[in-house]
């Protein structure tokens, strides 16, 4: 065990490379009707290994105090469920509790793993390409699974969730741009595959994130060229951009993303008798009805006991009534607050706020690397609001934890 704990950075790297394969395995099994949660079992097992690492290999006082508070909260949450509900649903509630706080355990682990050792960004590039391949090849061959059960179009390769893969590709992309040293045929091929994948999935997030990332990087690049008075380079980059824009105009209407936009707009027009109201536009088009879900969960929270307000209402709303609901809001901030109460919410976001505060103090937007790291973190915070499942889904949250931990440790090395 001591040898495992001393080489935890290597073990984590192996586990990191398993992520896309775990999700693909789950996707294939579910597609053929086998509801076997192999990925959940493996991730839960690794989570407990991380807890052992933190308990026996980390001597930092702040970490130990935080862990003690976290475990105490787990006990109080469980007691709250037993008091307000009963033992029959305890397994379901604890499973969701561990799934949500999986991110926190990963973050604490990675903060300590990469305190002295560095993380090679090339690992992220390889992982990004693996995700692209598992979407691109099945979709090209017509073997990809549908992104949606009905109505909308799109294919997600052999994965389970379009939102999960779209989020992973979105938050990792800025880090990929940092590693680009030169433009060659490999980069062009990967770029074309990437564009195909994000438009074929059919969801808004990867497309809008991609556009945002490209625009911000383009503005930064042009601005830096103007400052250096290298005006000839502007002409060199404008021509391919114009060409890409013209090609996009022709291809865009044929993409799943565009077709889904049309389907969504037609749905709203029918729902509002030909008129799209502001409320429906914001709730349906921007938040995909998440504001409606939030209102229902808010009512359940407001009607709950004082104990539940402090420690959370859990994942089964209105238990033992005819209005039982299992649907989450899919806005991480609200889901964590309502499900885990005031105490759980504070505990969850305390390390995140501490890390972001340190990063913002030391990271300056005066270079290409800092710009894209900041962009990746901003996307994490925005997607947690508009899409959800960023902090509370293990398939996503492990990458969020990695980005925050590595950025934090690198920022500590910067001079004040």
User: How far is the C-alpha of 80 from the C-alpha of 297, rounded, in Å?
Assistant: 18
Say if CB 386 and CB 92 are below 8 A apart: no
Length of the chain: 416
Going by the DSSP 8-state scheme, the letter that residue 121 receives in this structure is: T
Tokens 């090395």 sit on residue? 413
Domain ranges of the chain: 58-113+290-416, 118-255
Q: d(Cα 279, Cα 281) in Å, to the nearest integer?
A: 5
The alpha carbons of the chain give a radius of gyration, in whole angstroms, of: 23
- Angle 241-364-179 from CA coordinates, rounded to 5°: 50
Question: What is the reported pLDDT for 79?
Answer: 96
Confidence class for position 258, pLDDT limits 50, 70, 90: confident
Higher pLDDT, 274 or 362: 362
Q: How many helices (H) and strands (E) does the chain have?
A: 17, 0
Q: How far apart are the C-alpha atoms of 99 and 147, rounded to whole Å?
A: 23
Q: Which SS3 state, helix, strand or coil, does residue 303 take?
A: coil
Q: Which residues of 225-240 are buried (b: 16+ CB within 10 A; e: fewer)?
A: beeeeeeeeeeeeeee
Angstrom distance (rounded) from CA 139 to CA 356: 38
Q: What is the pLDDT of residue 416?
A: 40
pLDDT-derived band at 179 (thresholds 50, 70, 90) equals confident
Q: Rounded CA gap, 249 and 255, in Å?
A: 11
Paired tokens of 7: 């080489």
Q: Please enumerate in sequence order all residues whose Cβ is within 8 A of that of 163, keeping only pairs 6 or more positions apart, or say none.
A: 203, 205, 387, 388, 389
Rounded CA-CA distance 326/324 in Å is: 7
Quick one: pLDDT at residue 23?
94
Give 320's pLDDT tier (boundaries 50, 70, 90): confident
Task: Give the model's pLDDT for residue 191.
Answer: 86
**11-29, pLDDT tens digit by residue?**
999 999 999 999 999 999 8
The pLDDT of residue 275: 63
- Determine the Cα–Cα distance for residues 11 and 2; give it in Å rounded to an integer: 13
Report the share of the chain in percent with pLDDT over 70.
Answer: 94
Chain centre distance of CA 5: 27
Q: Which of 33, 41, 414, 383 is nearest to 213 (CA)?
A: 383
Instruction: With both helix axes pointing from N to C terminus, report the angle between 204-228 and 231-251 in degrees, rounded to the nearest 10.
Output: 160
Question: Which has the higher per-residue pLDDT, 323 or 106?
Answer: 106
Which among 43, 19, 17, 11 is positioned nearest to 113, based on CA atoms? 11
| Residue 106 clears pLDDT 90, i.e. is over it | yes
d(CA 105, CA 405): 12
The two structure tokens encoding residue 209: 């994130």
Check whether 415 has a pLDDT greater than 60: no
Q: Which residue has the higher pLDDT, 168 or 413?
A: 168
Taking residues 189-204, what's their average pLDDT? 89
For residues 26 and 160, the answer to whether their CB atoms sit within 8 Å is yes
Across 171-185, 229-243, 387-401, least confident range: 229-243
Would you say 156 and 147 are in contact if contact means Cβ atoms under 8 Å apart?
Answer: yes
Question: Beta partners for 231?
Answer: none
The first and second tokens of residue 175, run together, are: 């880090």
pTM given for the model = 0.92
């Amino acid at each position: 065990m001591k040898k495992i704990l001393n080489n935890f950075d290597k073990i984590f790297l192996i586990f990191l490379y398993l992520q896309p394969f775990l999700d693909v395995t789950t996707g294939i099994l579910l597609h053929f009707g086998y509801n076997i949660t192999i990925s959940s079992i493996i991730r839960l097992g690794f989570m407990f290994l991380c807890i052992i690492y933190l308990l026996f290999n980390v001597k930092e006082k702040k970490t130990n105090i935080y862990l003690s508070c976290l475990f105490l909260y787990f006990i109080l949450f469980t007691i709250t469920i037993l008091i307000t509900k009963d033992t029959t649903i305890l397994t379901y509630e604890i499973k969701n509790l561990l799934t949500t706080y999986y991110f926190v355990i990963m973050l604490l682990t990675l903060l300590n793993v990469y305190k002295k050792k560095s993380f090679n960004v090339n690992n992220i590039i390889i992982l990004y390409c693996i995700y692209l391949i598992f979407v691109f090849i099945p979709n090209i061959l017509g073997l990809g699974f549908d992104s949606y059960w009905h109505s909308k179009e799109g294919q997600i390769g052999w994965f389970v969730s379009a939102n999960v893969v779209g989020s992973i590709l979105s938050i990792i992309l800025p880090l990929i741009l940092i590693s680009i040293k030169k433009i060659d045929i490999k980069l062009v091929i990967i770029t074309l595959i990437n564009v195909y994948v994000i438009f074929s999935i059919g969801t808004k997030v990867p497309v809008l994130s991609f556009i945002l990332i490209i625009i911000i990087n383009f503005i930064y690049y042009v601005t830096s060229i103007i400052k250096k008075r290298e005006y000839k380079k502007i002409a060199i980059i404008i021509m391919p951009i114009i060409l890409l824009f013209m090609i996009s105009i022709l291809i865009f209407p044929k993409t799943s993303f565009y077709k889904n936009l049309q389907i969504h707009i037609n749905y709203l027009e029918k729902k509002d008798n030909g008129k799209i109201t502001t409320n429906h536009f914001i709730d349906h088009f921007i938040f995909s009805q998440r504001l409606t879900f939030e209102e229902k969960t808010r009512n359940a929270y407001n009607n709950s006991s004082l104990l539940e307000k402090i420690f959370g209402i859990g994942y089964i709303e209105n238990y033992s009534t005819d209005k039982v609901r299992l649907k989450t809001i899919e806005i991480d901030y609200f889901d964590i607050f309502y499900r885990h109460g005031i105490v759980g919410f504070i505990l969850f976001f305390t390390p995140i706020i501490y890390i972001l505060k340190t990063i913002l103090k030391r990271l300056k937007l005066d270079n290409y690397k800092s710009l894209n790291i900041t962009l990746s973190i901003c996307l994490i915070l925005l997607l947690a609001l508009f899409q959800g499942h960023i902090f509370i889904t293990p398939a996503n949250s492990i990458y969020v934890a990695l980005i925050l931990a590595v950025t934090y440790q690198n920022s500590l090395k910067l001079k004040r």
